[in-house]
Amino acid sequence: MNFLLPWIPFLALGLVVEVLVRTEIVPSYLLPATSDVLVSLVRDHKELLGGLESTTIAAVLGLLLSLTLGLFAAVVLSLSERLRHAFLPYAVFFQTVPIIALAPVLVIWFGFGRPTVMASAFIVSVFPMIANSIAGLLAPDPMLLDLFRLHKASRFQTLWKLRLPTAMPSIFTGLKIAAGLAVIGAVVGEFVAGGGLGEVVDAARTQQRLDKVFAAVLLSSFLGLALVGLIDLVSKLFLRSWMRVPK
């Protein structure tokens, strides 16, 4: 039952939009009728699904890049407070950079197509990955760190047997936030570099096809939701079995 609740506002909004447009309270060149969006989803499904596939691949690859490079950066930064002081401000840059302004530069660097889209997805999603991972890596109880020191644990042992397992829940939190952002980054990248749902949106906009714009926007939102949901599911299963953490 609770699973159905979020759909009620969604359907209600669709209904309201439909009524507003059909009664011409809102002109259809400003807002497409819900039914038109649905028709576009069916009629343009080939183009939309092609775009969805391309955006999915770019977003997932960008996210994987964030996961590996972000985690690596976090591990390195967790080793020393001096390193954190020196480099963390630059990690914040990734959080504050206006990706829409940087995207054209990415095209100059990586050309039109997927590499630029991936880079854009990576840039907007890497900061939460780094920040959450560092917080987790620094979270072990000081007494446990003492225990490891007392038994002459190496840095690697402390990392592998204490810091990383302790950080697992935070790493998953970071990955979940990063997943939503990676989709946004990918679509923005596609505006300038082409391909995927971003290009569908941009092209449909110039053709005054608002129904198609909204169909593509809807699909990209669902893509973000699906990625976040998938990671949430994996993290729950993983944390419950391997980490043996009670719910």
Sites of contact with other proteins (CB under 8 A): 141, 143-144, 146-153, 157, 161-162, 165, 168, 242-246
* Least distance (Å) between residue 61 CB and other proteins: 30
* Least distance (Å) between residue 168 CB and other proteins: 8
For the chain, counts of helices (H) and of strands (E): 11, 0
- The dihedral through the CA atoms of 39, 43, 46, 48 has a sign that is negative
* Least distance (Å) between residue 129 CB and other proteins: 21
Give the 3-state secondary structure of 26-39: CCCCCCCCHHHHHH
Q: How many CB atoms lie within 10 A of CB 64?
A: 14
Question: Considering beta carbons, is residue 115 or 165 the nearer one to other proteins?
Answer: 165
Q: How many Å apart are CA 44 and CA 48, to the nearest integer?
A: 6
* Least distance (Å) between residue 117 CB and other proteins: 37
Question: Considering beta carbons, is residue 80 or 157 the nearer one to other proteins?
Answer: 157
CA nearest neighbour of 103 among 204, 2, 187: 187
Question: Considering beta carbons, is residue 14 or 165 the nearer one to other proteins?
Answer: 165
Question: Considering beta carbons, is residue 53 or 146 the nearer one to other proteins?
Answer: 146
Question: Considering beta carbons, is residue 86 or 245 the nearer one to other proteins?
Answer: 245
- CA distances 150 to 84, 135, 139, 143, 146, Å, are 26, 24, 19, 10, 6
Could you tell me which residues come within 8 angstroms of residue 188 by beta carbon, excluding any fewer than 6 positions away?
Answer: 99, 100, 103, 120, 124, 198
* Least distance (Å) between residue 170 CB and other proteins: 14
